[in-house]
Structure 1
Amino acid sequence: MPAIVGAVKVNSISASSIFNIGDVYSMNPDSSAKTYAGGGSFNTGDGIRVNLNHSNTYVYDKDKIDQPVT
């Protein structure tokens, strides 16, 4: 059944949101991200001590696509 929509004012829409007016069957937002982090980057807790004397994080990715979002 068709939807009847009155006046709509949109102040802002963020990059990861969906805006729809009217009928919709399915809405599927997709996003992807690649995160580079060195040793000890995602440690959480109290009193953590990480000693990384010669740590390197290599960010070169020759194929540029790891898992495509379709």
Structure 2
Amino acid sequence: MPAMIGAFKAISVSAGGVLQVGDTAAIVPKGTSKTCGGSGTFNTGDFILTQNILNTTNTIDMDASDQNIASGL
């Protein structure tokens, strides 16, 4: 089914990012990374109030790899 979209504004697409508009069969990333952040770390906006008394972030990863990327391109 065709996608019907209105006007949109792409402010920024980072290197390795994907901007998909309309129909697609597959979106394949070209890079992987892992970011660890605690409670309230990635909040965006005006007048954010985050109250954390005690906070820890578990960064232990027992997997050898999370998502393998194999590209034939």
Give the alignment's TM-score, normalised by structure 1: 0.54
Structure 1 position 32, deviation (Å): 0.7
1:23-66 Cα offsets, whole Å, 9 max, x none, are xxxxxx82110110111011111111001111100100011311
1:64 & 1:46 partners in 2: Cα distance? 39
Matches within 5 A, 1:37-56: 37-56=37-56
Q: Larger Rg: 1 or 2?
A: 1
Aligned partners of 1:39 and 1:55: how far apart in 2?
A: 7
| CA RMSD of superposed structures (Å) | 2.0
What is the identity percentage for the equivalent residue pairs of Structure 1 and Structure 2?
A: 37
The count of corresponding residues between Structure 1 and Structure 2 is 44
Q: What TM-score results when the alignment is normalised by the length of structure 2?
A: 0.52
Q: Output the amino acid matched with 1:41.
A: T
Structure 2, unmatched stretches of 5+, are 1-15, 17-28
Runs of 4+ in structure 1 off by over 3 angstroms are none
Q: Unmatched 5+ residue regions in structure 1?
A: 1-15, 17-28
Correspondence for 2:62: 62
Partner AA of 2:34 in structure 1: K
Mapped to 2, the partners of 1:45 and 1:31 lie a distance apart of 28
